[in-house]
Structure 1
Amino acid sequence: MSRIIVFGGHGRIARLLAPLLVANGDEVTAVIRNPQHIADVETAGATALVGDVETMDAASLAEIIRGHDAIVWSAGAGGGDPERTYAVDRDAAIRTMYAAPLAGVRRYLMVSWLGSKADHGVPKDDSFFAYADAKWAADEHLRGTQLDGTILGPGALTLDEPTGRIELDPEDRGAVSRADVAAVIVAALNEPLTIGRTIRFGNGTAETAEPIEVALAR
Protein backbone atom coordinates (compact mmCIF):
# COMPACT_ATOMS: atom_id res chain seq x y z
CA MET A 1 0.00 0.00 0.00
CA SER A 2 1.20 3.50 -0.87
CA ARG A 3 0.00 6.91 0.23
CA ILE A 4 -0.55 9.16 -2.77
CA ILE A 5 -1.19 12.91 -2.62
CA VAL A 6 -2.99 14.30 -5.67
CA PHE A 7 -2.88 18.04 -6.37
CA GLY A 8 -5.89 19.16 -8.36
CA GLY A 9 -7.98 16.58 -6.55
CA HIS A 10 -11.32 17.80 -7.87
CA GLY A 11 -10.31 17.70 -11.52
CA ARG A 12 -11.98 15.27 -13.88
CA ILE A 13 -8.91 13.06 -14.18
CA ALA A 14 -8.27 13.11 -10.43
CA ARG A 15 -11.82 12.03 -9.62
CA LEU A 16 -11.41 9.09 -11.99
CA LEU A 17 -7.98 8.36 -10.54
CA ALA A 18 -8.93 8.14 -6.87
CA PRO A 19 -11.14 5.02 -7.14
CA LEU A 20 -8.47 3.27 -9.22
CA LEU A 21 -5.80 3.97 -6.62
CA VAL A 22 -8.07 2.84 -3.80
CA ALA A 23 -8.82 -0.37 -5.72
CA ASN A 24 -5.04 -0.78 -6.04
CA GLY A 25 -4.81 -0.75 -2.25
CA ASP A 26 -3.51 2.80 -1.94
CA GLU A 27 -4.58 5.68 0.28
CA VAL A 28 -5.34 8.93 -1.53
CA THR A 29 -5.18 12.50 -0.29
CA ALA A 30 -6.92 14.90 -2.69
CA VAL A 31 -5.80 18.53 -2.39
CA ILE A 32 -8.65 20.86 -3.32
CA ARG A 33 -9.11 24.62 -3.16
CA ASN A 34 -12.86 24.77 -2.64
CA PRO A 35 -14.29 23.21 0.55
CA GLN A 36 -17.59 22.74 -1.27
CA HIS A 37 -15.86 19.95 -3.24
CA ILE A 38 -15.05 17.83 -0.18
CA ALA A 39 -18.02 15.51 -0.66
CA ASP A 40 -17.20 15.01 -4.35
CA VAL A 41 -13.65 13.79 -3.74
CA GLU A 42 -14.51 11.74 -0.68
CA THR A 43 -17.25 9.98 -2.62
CA ALA A 44 -14.52 9.00 -5.06
CA GLY A 45 -12.59 7.36 -2.22
CA ALA A 46 -10.04 10.04 -1.37
CA THR A 47 -9.46 12.02 1.80
CA ALA A 48 -10.00 15.70 1.08
CA LEU A 49 -7.42 18.27 2.10
CA VAL A 50 -8.36 21.91 1.53
CA GLY A 51 -5.43 24.12 0.52
CA ASP A 52 -4.72 26.82 -2.04
CA VAL A 53 -1.56 25.81 -3.89
CA GLU A 54 -1.48 29.22 -5.53
CA THR A 55 -0.62 30.87 -2.22
CA MET A 56 1.15 28.12 -0.25
CA ASP A 57 4.94 28.32 0.01
CA ALA A 58 7.28 25.33 -0.22
CA ALA A 59 7.41 24.86 3.57
CA SER A 60 3.61 24.77 3.82
CA LEU A 61 3.41 22.36 0.91
CA ALA A 62 6.02 20.13 2.53
CA GLU A 63 3.82 19.88 5.62
CA ILE A 64 0.92 18.40 3.67
CA ILE A 65 3.16 16.24 1.47
CA ARG A 66 5.03 14.70 4.40
CA GLY A 67 4.02 11.11 5.12
CA HIS A 68 3.07 10.31 1.53
CA ASP A 69 4.96 8.03 -0.83
CA ALA A 70 4.25 9.80 -4.11
CA ILE A 71 2.98 13.09 -5.51
CA VAL A 72 0.66 13.40 -8.50
CA TRP A 73 0.40 16.90 -9.97
CA SER A 74 -2.88 17.15 -11.85
CA ALA A 75 -3.72 20.73 -10.91
CA GLY A 76 -4.20 23.59 -13.33
CA ALA A 77 -5.71 27.02 -13.58
CA GLY A 78 -8.03 25.91 -16.35
CA GLY A 79 -6.83 28.43 -18.91
CA GLY A 80 -8.27 31.87 -19.50
CA ASP A 81 -6.18 34.12 -17.29
CA PRO A 82 -2.49 33.96 -18.30
CA GLU A 83 -1.27 35.36 -14.97
CA ARG A 84 -3.11 32.70 -13.00
CA THR A 85 -2.03 30.01 -15.46
CA TYR A 86 1.62 30.82 -14.74
CA ALA A 87 0.88 31.03 -11.00
CA VAL A 88 -0.62 27.55 -10.85
CA ASP A 89 0.63 25.47 -13.80
CA ARG A 90 4.22 26.68 -13.50
CA ASP A 91 4.98 28.36 -10.18
CA ALA A 92 2.86 26.27 -7.81
CA ALA A 93 3.92 23.07 -9.54
CA ILE A 94 7.58 24.00 -9.14
CA ARG A 95 7.06 24.83 -5.47
CA THR A 96 5.80 21.29 -4.88
CA MET A 97 9.04 20.05 -6.43
CA TYR A 98 10.99 22.10 -3.91
CA ALA A 99 8.68 20.86 -1.16
CA ALA A 100 8.98 17.17 -2.03
CA PRO A 101 12.56 16.66 -0.75
CA LEU A 102 11.78 18.77 2.32
CA ALA A 103 9.02 16.25 3.04
CA GLY A 104 11.21 13.24 2.25
CA VAL A 105 9.23 12.25 -0.86
CA ARG A 106 11.07 11.31 -4.06
CA ARG A 107 8.36 9.97 -6.38
CA TYR A 108 6.69 12.66 -8.48
CA LEU A 109 4.32 12.22 -11.38
CA MET A 110 3.44 15.22 -13.55
CA VAL A 111 0.32 15.19 -15.71
CA SER A 112 1.33 17.40 -18.63
CA TRP A 113 0.19 17.34 -22.27
CA LEU A 114 1.29 15.81 -25.53
CA GLY A 115 2.73 19.01 -27.02
CA SER A 116 4.83 20.07 -24.04
CA LYS A 117 8.12 20.68 -25.84
CA ALA A 118 10.52 23.59 -26.22
CA ASP A 119 9.27 23.98 -29.77
CA HIS A 120 5.60 23.54 -28.92
CA GLY A 121 4.71 25.88 -31.78
CA VAL A 122 2.03 27.88 -29.97
CA PRO A 123 2.41 31.56 -30.97
CA LYS A 124 2.67 34.18 -28.22
CA ASP A 125 -0.54 35.88 -29.31
CA ASP A 126 -2.50 32.64 -28.96
CA SER A 127 -4.64 32.29 -25.83
CA PHE A 128 -3.14 28.81 -25.34
CA PHE A 129 0.44 30.12 -25.17
CA ALA A 130 0.53 30.73 -21.41
CA TYR A 131 -0.52 27.14 -20.74
CA ALA A 132 1.99 25.69 -23.21
CA ASP A 133 4.79 27.87 -21.83
CA ALA A 134 3.94 27.21 -18.18
CA LYS A 135 3.69 23.44 -18.61
CA TRP A 136 6.97 23.28 -20.49
CA ALA A 137 8.70 25.25 -17.72
CA ALA A 138 7.31 22.96 -15.02
CA ASP A 139 8.25 19.82 -16.95
CA GLU A 140 11.78 21.09 -17.53
CA HIS A 141 12.17 21.94 -13.86
CA LEU A 142 11.13 18.41 -12.88
CA ARG A 143 13.69 16.95 -15.28
CA GLY A 144 16.40 18.99 -13.56
CA THR A 145 15.59 17.79 -10.05
CA GLN A 146 16.78 14.69 -8.22
CA LEU A 147 13.21 13.47 -7.84
CA ASP A 148 12.07 10.14 -9.26
CA GLY A 149 9.95 11.93 -11.81
CA THR A 150 7.65 10.80 -14.59
CA ILE A 151 6.02 13.21 -17.03
CA LEU A 152 2.85 12.01 -18.72
CA GLY A 153 1.86 13.76 -21.95
CA PRO A 154 -1.65 12.73 -22.97
CA GLY A 155 -3.17 14.09 -26.16
CA ALA A 156 -6.57 15.72 -26.56
CA LEU A 157 -8.75 14.62 -23.65
CA THR A 158 -12.14 13.03 -24.26
CA LEU A 159 -15.00 11.72 -22.13
CA ASP A 160 -14.98 8.35 -23.91
CA GLU A 161 -15.12 5.08 -22.04
CA PRO A 162 -11.73 3.62 -21.07
CA THR A 163 -10.09 1.17 -23.44
CA GLY A 164 -7.17 0.03 -21.30
CA ARG A 165 -4.91 0.57 -24.31
CA ILE A 166 -2.65 3.40 -25.49
CA GLU A 167 -0.35 4.30 -28.36
CA LEU A 168 2.98 5.87 -27.46
CA ASP A 169 4.20 8.94 -29.36
CA PRO A 170 1.16 9.33 -31.61
CA GLU A 171 1.63 11.29 -34.80
CA ASP A 172 -1.73 13.06 -34.53
CA ARG A 173 -3.38 14.94 -31.63
CA GLY A 174 -3.42 11.73 -29.64
CA ALA A 175 -7.03 11.82 -28.48
CA VAL A 176 -7.36 9.83 -25.26
CA SER A 177 -10.09 9.30 -22.71
CA ARG A 178 -9.62 10.85 -19.29
CA ALA A 179 -10.39 7.44 -17.80
CA ASP A 180 -7.43 5.93 -19.65
CA VAL A 181 -5.21 8.80 -18.47
CA ALA A 182 -6.19 7.93 -14.91
CA ALA A 183 -5.31 4.29 -15.58
CA VAL A 184 -1.94 5.33 -17.03
CA ILE A 185 -1.18 7.29 -13.84
CA VAL A 186 -1.82 4.21 -11.70
CA ALA A 187 0.24 1.98 -13.98
CA ALA A 188 3.10 4.51 -14.09
CA LEU A 189 3.22 4.74 -10.31
CA ASN A 190 3.47 0.94 -10.19
CA GLU A 191 6.11 0.66 -12.93
CA PRO A 192 9.67 1.71 -11.93
CA LEU A 193 10.70 1.76 -15.61
CA THR A 194 8.67 4.97 -16.03
CA ILE A 195 10.99 6.93 -13.72
CA GLY A 196 12.97 9.54 -15.61
CA ARG A 197 10.77 9.30 -18.70
CA THR A 198 8.44 11.61 -20.58
CA ILE A 199 5.62 9.46 -21.91
CA ARG A 200 3.49 10.94 -24.68
CA PHE A 201 0.41 8.94 -25.59
CA GLY A 202 -3.08 8.72 -27.02
CA ASN A 203 -5.63 5.94 -27.39
CA GLY A 204 -4.51 5.13 -30.91
CA THR A 205 -6.40 2.57 -32.96
CA ALA A 206 -7.02 -1.15 -32.73
CA GLU A 207 -3.91 -1.63 -34.86
CA THR A 208 -1.55 0.79 -33.06
CA ALA A 209 -2.57 0.62 -29.39
CA GLU A 210 -1.38 -1.88 -26.81
CA PRO A 211 -2.28 -2.61 -23.18
CA ILE A 212 -1.24 0.21 -20.89
CA GLU A 213 1.04 -1.93 -18.71
CA VAL A 214 2.81 -3.32 -21.78
CA ALA A 215 3.36 0.13 -23.27
CA LEU A 216 4.79 1.55 -20.05
CA ALA A 217 7.15 -1.36 -19.41
CA ARG A 218 9.23 -0.89 -22.53
Structure 2
Amino acid sequence: MSRVIVFGGHGRIALLLAPLLVERGAEVTSVIRNPDHSADVAAGGAQPLVADVEQLDTAALAEIIRGHDAVVWSAGAGGGDPQRTYAVDRDAAIRTMDAAVLAEVPRYVMVSWLGSTADHGIPEDAGFFPYADAKWAADEHLRGTDLEGTILAPGTLTFDEPTGRIRLDPEGRGEVSRADVAAVIVEALDSPATIGRTIRFGNGTDENAVPIAEALSN
Protein backbone atom coordinates (compact mmCIF):
# COMPACT_ATOMS: atom_id res chain seq x y z
CA MET A 1 0.00 0.00 0.00
CA SER A 2 2.93 2.36 -0.48
CA ARG A 3 1.26 4.38 -3.28
CA VAL A 4 -2.51 4.83 -3.35
CA ILE A 5 -4.57 6.81 -5.84
CA VAL A 6 -7.97 8.04 -4.63
CA PHE A 7 -10.65 9.11 -7.10
CA GLY A 8 -13.03 11.67 -5.65
CA GLY A 9 -10.21 13.19 -3.65
CA HIS A 10 -12.17 16.18 -2.34
CA GLY A 11 -15.11 14.11 -1.16
CA ARG A 12 -15.91 14.07 2.53
CA ILE A 13 -14.72 10.50 2.98
CA ALA A 14 -11.59 10.98 0.88
CA LEU A 15 -10.51 14.04 2.87
CA LEU A 16 -10.70 11.92 6.01
CA LEU A 17 -9.03 8.96 4.31
CA ALA A 18 -5.87 10.64 3.04
CA PRO A 19 -4.41 11.56 6.46
CA LEU A 20 -5.06 8.02 7.71
CA LEU A 21 -3.21 6.55 4.74
CA VAL A 22 -0.33 8.99 5.20
CA GLU A 23 -0.10 7.95 8.86
CA ARG A 24 0.36 4.37 7.62
CA GLY A 25 3.26 5.52 5.46
CA ALA A 26 1.43 5.64 2.13
CA GLU A 27 1.97 8.18 -0.62
CA VAL A 28 -1.47 9.39 -1.65
CA THR A 29 -2.54 10.88 -4.97
CA SER A 30 -6.00 12.46 -4.74
CA VAL A 31 -7.76 13.03 -8.05
CA ILE A 32 -9.93 16.14 -8.10
CA ARG A 33 -11.89 17.95 -10.80
CA ASN A 34 -11.70 21.46 -9.38
CA PRO A 35 -8.20 22.99 -9.02
CA ASP A 36 -9.55 25.25 -6.27
CA HIS A 37 -9.71 22.16 -4.06
CA SER A 38 -5.97 21.49 -4.28
CA ALA A 39 -5.14 23.24 -1.02
CA ASP A 40 -7.73 21.22 0.94
CA VAL A 41 -6.31 17.99 -0.44
CA ALA A 42 -2.69 18.98 0.19
CA ALA A 43 -3.56 19.91 3.79
CA GLY A 44 -4.37 16.26 4.42
CA GLY A 45 -1.00 15.10 3.15
CA ALA A 46 -2.10 13.97 -0.31
CA GLN A 47 -0.76 15.07 -3.67
CA PRO A 48 -3.63 16.69 -5.61
CA LEU A 49 -4.03 15.69 -9.26
CA VAL A 50 -6.49 17.72 -11.31
CA ALA A 51 -8.28 15.49 -13.82
CA ASP A 52 -11.87 15.14 -15.01
CA VAL A 53 -12.77 11.45 -14.86
CA GLU A 54 -15.90 12.11 -16.92
CA GLN A 55 -13.76 13.19 -19.85
CA LEU A 56 -10.75 10.88 -19.68
CA ASP A 57 -10.78 7.62 -21.62
CA THR A 58 -9.40 4.32 -20.34
CA ALA A 59 -5.92 4.88 -21.75
CA ALA A 60 -5.62 8.32 -20.17
CA LEU A 61 -6.84 6.99 -16.83
CA ALA A 62 -4.30 4.18 -17.04
CA GLU A 63 -1.54 6.77 -17.31
CA ILE A 64 -2.79 8.38 -14.10
CA ILE A 65 -3.07 5.06 -12.28
CA ARG A 66 0.20 3.53 -13.49
CA GLY A 67 2.90 3.38 -10.82
CA HIS A 68 0.48 3.18 -7.91
CA ASP A 69 -0.10 0.09 -5.80
CA ALA A 70 -3.83 0.47 -5.19
CA VAL A 71 -6.87 2.36 -6.44
CA VAL A 72 -9.70 3.67 -4.25
CA TRP A 73 -12.91 4.80 -5.94
CA SER A 74 -14.70 7.26 -3.68
CA ALA A 75 -16.06 9.57 -6.38
CA GLY A 76 -19.67 10.29 -7.15
CA ALA A 77 -21.87 12.71 -9.03
CA GLY A 78 -23.78 13.65 -5.90
CA GLY A 79 -27.21 12.86 -7.31
CA GLY A 80 -29.69 15.23 -8.87
CA ASP A 81 -28.80 14.70 -12.54
CA PRO A 82 -29.46 11.14 -13.74
CA GLN A 83 -27.28 11.54 -16.84
CA ARG A 84 -24.30 12.70 -14.82
CA THR A 85 -24.92 10.04 -12.18
CA TYR A 86 -24.54 7.34 -14.82
CA ALA A 87 -21.56 9.15 -16.34
CA VAL A 88 -19.64 9.22 -13.06
CA ASP A 89 -20.93 6.50 -10.74
CA ARG A 90 -21.15 3.86 -13.48
CA ASP A 91 -19.21 4.77 -16.62
CA ALA A 92 -16.22 6.60 -15.16
CA ALA A 93 -15.92 4.07 -12.35
CA ILE A 94 -15.87 1.22 -14.86
CA ARG A 95 -13.23 2.97 -16.95
CA THR A 96 -10.96 3.27 -13.91
CA MET A 97 -11.29 -0.47 -13.34
CA ASP A 98 -10.37 -1.22 -16.94
CA ALA A 99 -7.57 1.33 -16.65
CA ALA A 100 -6.24 -0.38 -13.52
CA VAL A 101 -6.08 -3.64 -15.46
CA LEU A 102 -4.28 -1.86 -18.30
CA ALA A 103 -1.86 -0.21 -15.87
CA GLU A 104 -1.25 -3.53 -14.07
CA VAL A 105 -2.39 -2.16 -10.72
CA PRO A 106 -4.49 -5.04 -9.39
CA ARG A 107 -5.67 -3.75 -6.00
CA TYR A 108 -8.96 -1.87 -6.24
CA VAL A 109 -11.32 -0.76 -3.47
CA MET A 110 -14.78 0.44 -4.44
CA VAL A 111 -16.83 2.54 -2.01
CA SER A 112 -20.39 1.50 -2.79
CA TRP A 113 -23.52 1.55 -0.61
CA LEU A 114 -25.37 -0.85 1.62
CA GLY A 115 -28.30 -1.40 -0.74
CA SER A 116 -26.28 -2.17 -3.86
CA THR A 117 -27.83 -5.50 -4.81
CA ALA A 118 -29.58 -6.82 -7.91
CA ASP A 119 -32.92 -6.55 -6.08
CA HIS A 120 -32.30 -3.17 -4.45
CA GLY A 121 -36.01 -2.43 -4.66
CA ILE A 122 -35.73 1.20 -5.80
CA PRO A 123 -38.57 1.96 -8.27
CA GLU A 124 -37.47 3.09 -11.72
CA ASP A 125 -39.45 6.31 -11.38
CA ALA A 126 -37.74 7.22 -8.09
CA GLY A 127 -35.10 9.93 -8.05
CA PHE A 128 -32.66 7.60 -6.33
CA PHE A 129 -32.95 4.89 -9.01
CA PRO A 130 -30.12 6.14 -11.29
CA TYR A 131 -27.69 6.03 -8.37
CA ALA A 132 -28.79 2.57 -7.27
CA ASP A 133 -28.65 1.28 -10.84
CA ALA A 134 -25.26 2.87 -11.55
CA LYS A 135 -23.63 1.61 -8.37
CA TRP A 136 -24.89 -1.93 -8.94
CA ALA A 137 -23.53 -1.91 -12.49
CA ALA A 138 -20.12 -0.67 -11.31
CA ASP A 139 -19.97 -3.24 -8.52
CA GLU A 140 -20.85 -6.04 -10.93
CA HIS A 141 -18.19 -4.91 -13.37
CA LEU A 142 -15.55 -5.04 -10.65
CA ARG A 143 -16.62 -8.56 -9.71
CA GLY A 144 -16.17 -9.59 -13.33
CA THR A 145 -12.60 -8.34 -13.63
CA ASP A 146 -9.36 -10.02 -12.61
CA LEU A 147 -8.61 -7.18 -10.19
CA GLU A 148 -8.02 -7.84 -6.51
CA GLY A 149 -11.22 -6.01 -5.73
CA THR A 150 -13.02 -5.20 -2.52
CA ILE A 151 -16.47 -3.62 -2.48
CA LEU A 152 -17.20 -1.66 0.67
CA ALA A 153 -20.91 -1.05 1.15
CA PRO A 154 -21.61 1.31 4.07
CA GLY A 155 -25.06 2.32 5.19
CA THR A 156 -26.36 5.86 5.56
CA LEU A 157 -23.42 8.19 6.10
CA THR A 158 -23.31 10.49 9.13
CA PHE A 159 -21.02 13.18 10.47
CA ASP A 160 -20.74 11.43 13.85
CA GLU A 161 -17.39 11.00 15.53
CA PRO A 162 -15.57 7.76 14.64
CA THR A 163 -16.17 4.76 16.85
CA GLY A 164 -13.52 2.40 15.44
CA ARG A 165 -16.18 -0.31 15.43
CA ILE A 166 -18.56 -1.68 12.79
CA ARG A 167 -21.30 -4.23 12.46
CA LEU A 168 -21.29 -6.39 9.35
CA ASP A 169 -24.56 -6.91 7.44
CA PRO A 170 -26.48 -4.39 9.56
CA GLU A 171 -30.23 -4.16 9.67
CA GLY A 172 -32.16 -1.16 8.43
CA ARG A 173 -30.26 1.86 7.15
CA GLY A 174 -26.97 0.83 8.76
CA GLU A 175 -25.91 4.34 9.74
CA VAL A 176 -22.15 4.79 9.87
CA SER A 177 -19.86 7.77 10.32
CA ARG A 178 -17.81 8.93 7.37
CA ALA A 179 -14.74 8.79 9.57
CA ASP A 180 -15.32 5.10 10.24
CA VAL A 181 -15.80 4.46 6.52
CA ALA A 182 -12.40 6.06 5.91
CA ALA A 183 -10.89 3.78 8.56
CA VAL A 184 -12.52 0.73 6.95
CA ILE A 185 -10.94 1.64 3.61
CA VAL A 186 -7.49 1.79 5.21
CA GLU A 187 -7.93 -1.57 6.91
CA ALA A 188 -9.33 -3.14 3.73
CA LEU A 189 -6.29 -2.03 1.74
CA ASP A 190 -4.05 -3.65 4.35
CA SER A 191 -6.06 -6.88 4.62
CA PRO A 192 -5.75 -9.57 1.91
CA ALA A 193 -8.75 -11.23 3.59
CA THR A 194 -11.01 -8.57 2.06
CA ILE A 195 -10.06 -9.32 -1.55
CA GLY A 196 -12.98 -10.67 -3.54
CA ARG A 197 -15.52 -9.68 -0.89
CA THR A 198 -18.47 -7.32 -0.69
CA ILE A 199 -18.53 -5.97 2.86
CA ARG A 200 -21.79 -4.39 3.99
CA PHE A 201 -21.54 -2.53 7.26
CA GLY A 202 -22.79 0.11 9.67
CA ASN A 203 -21.65 1.27 13.09
CA GLY A 204 -24.16 -0.72 15.10
CA THR A 205 -24.14 -0.48 18.89
CA ASP A 206 -21.55 -1.39 21.50
CA GLU A 207 -23.23 -4.77 21.86
CA ASN A 208 -23.23 -5.82 18.22
CA ALA A 209 -20.23 -3.98 16.73
CA VAL A 210 -16.59 -5.08 16.80
CA PRO A 211 -13.30 -3.32 16.09
CA ILE A 212 -12.83 -2.63 12.39
CA ALA A 213 -9.72 -4.75 11.95
CA GLU A 214 -11.41 -7.68 13.66
CA ALA A 215 -14.55 -7.33 11.53
CA LEU A 216 -12.58 -7.34 8.28
CA SER A 217 -10.42 -10.30 9.24
CA ASN A 218 -13.40 -12.64 9.41
SS for the counterpart of 2:119 is: coil
Corresponding residue number in structure 1 for 2:130: 130
Q: Structure 1: how far apart are the matches of 2:61 and 2:81?
A: 24
TM-score (norm 1): 0.99
Find the aligned partners of 2:172 and 2:125 in 1 and give their Cα distance: 23
> Matched residue of 1:67: which SS?
coil
SS of the residue corresponding to residue 200 of structure 1 reads strand
Residue aligning to 2:49: 49
Displacement of 1:98: 0.8
**Where do 1:16-55 residues align within 5 Å?**
16-55=16-55
Q: What are the ranges of 5 or more consecutive residues in structure 2 without an aligned counterpart?
A: none
Equivalence for 1:100: 100
Deviation for aligned residue 1:32: 0.1
Distance 1:124 1:61 in 2: 31
Once the 2 structures are TM-superposed, how far is the Cα of residue 161 of structure 1 from its aligned partner? 0.3
In 1, distance between residues paired with 2:98 and 2:177? 31
Gaps of 5+ in 1: none
Q: Quick one: distance in 1 between partners of 2:43 and 2:123?
A: 41
Matched, 1:151 2:151: yes
Confirm or deny that 1:68 pairs with 2:68: yes
Amino acid at match of 2:5: I
Q: TM-score, normalised by structure 2?
A: 0.99
CA deviation vs aligned residue, 1:61-103 (integer Å, no higher than 9, x gap)? 0000000000000000000000000000000000011101211
Runs of 4+ in structure 1 over 4 Å off: none
Instruction: Tell me the residue number matched to 2:196.
Output: 196
Query: 1:201 is paired with a residue of what secondary structure?
Result: strand
Aligned to 2:14: 14
The one-letter code matched in structure 2 to 1:178 is: R
1:45 alignment partner, SS class? coil
Deviation string 1:123-152 (CA, Å, 9 cap, x unpaired) is 011100000000000000000000000000
Rounded Cα–Cα distance in structure 1 between residues aligned with 2:12 and 2:150:
20
Among the aligned pairs, what percent are the same residue?
77
CA distance in 1, matches of 2:120, 2:12: 25
